[in-house]
Chain A
Amino acid sequence: DIQMTQSPSTLSASVGDRVTISCRASQTIYTYLAWYQQKPGKAPTLLIYKASTLQSGVPSRFSGSGSGTEFTLTISRLQPDDFATYYCQQYTSHATFGQGTKLEIK
């Protein structure tokens, strides 16, 4: 099974900051990686797939990069609506998620 590890587990930041969340796969997943945002009490929403392709309707301040085993999600200028938990997910072999990164207001 492919394991996904995100870092950090918690991230404190302020509105307007640029933040980066990392995701590492236990073996190569090429670019078969997606990112999701989940707010408390809500279902996750898809932000990015194929490592760097923005899902329709997602603001351009979100971007993704990486390939192989190392990936990043970047939010260029944090907005109040962005404070949430973020999950990466590999889909080269079934589907497995990272443990999540909680983005908190500093």
Chain B
Amino acid sequence: QVQLVESGGGVVQPGRSLRLSCSASGFTFGTYGMHWVRQAPGKGLEWVAIIYSDGTNENYLDSVKGRFTISRDNSKNILFLQMNSLTAEDTALYYCVRDRVVVNPQWNFDLWGRGTLVTVSS
């Protein structure tokens, strides 16, 4: 069925790195822009990053720019988020999210995974 399944979350010390993965199935992954959206415990939603369908264009939330890198492997239907220099403010549930529109992303989100929890703590 159409779904997104995240993995790779866990507990990590401040300053360390973590790589999240998102496996997509049930749709033509390579035709959609993909995003990461996070939600700190008990808080609201915060968009983190986008990668366009062909992987040629990326954009980031200012507070993660230079620390996070979004990438994708369209041959394996996988989305990644490499997170470096993590801080406590990065603690959140990270959702892998599909853009609603094929090819040219509209920046609204019609398919969400269940999320993977990242906890940054010493």
Number of contact residues on A: which range applies?
Answer: 20 to 34
A18-63, CB < 8 A from B: 32, 34, 36, 38, 42-46, 49, 55
Q: In the complex, which residues of chain B have a beta carbon less than 8 angstroms from the beta carbon of A45?
A: 112
The main secondary structure of chain A at its interface with chain B is: loop
B91-116, CB < 8 A from A: 95, 100, 106-110, 112-115
Q: In the complex, which residues of chain B have a beta carbon less than 8 angstroms from the beta carbon of A38?
A: 45
Q: How far is B62's CA from A94's CA once the two chains are assembled, in angstroms?
A: 11
Q: Is the CB of B44 within 8 A of A97?
A: yes
Q: In the complex, which residues of chain A have a beta carbon less than 8 angstroms from the beta carbon of B46?
A: 97
Q: Is the CB of B100 within 8 A of A49?
A: yes
Where the two chains meet, the residues of B that have a C-beta atom closer than 8 Å to any C-beta of A are 35, 44-47, 59, 61-62, 95, 100, 106-110, 112-115
28 contacts between A and B (CB under 8 A): A1-B62, A34-B109, A36-B45, A36-B109, A38-B45, A42-B114, A43-B95, A44-B45, A44-B109, A44-B112, A45-B112, A46-B108, A46-B109, A46-B110, A49-B100, A49-B108, A87-B45, A89-B45, A89-B108, A94-B59, A95-B47, A95-B107, A95-B108, A97-B44, A97-B45, A98-B44, A99-B44, A100-B44
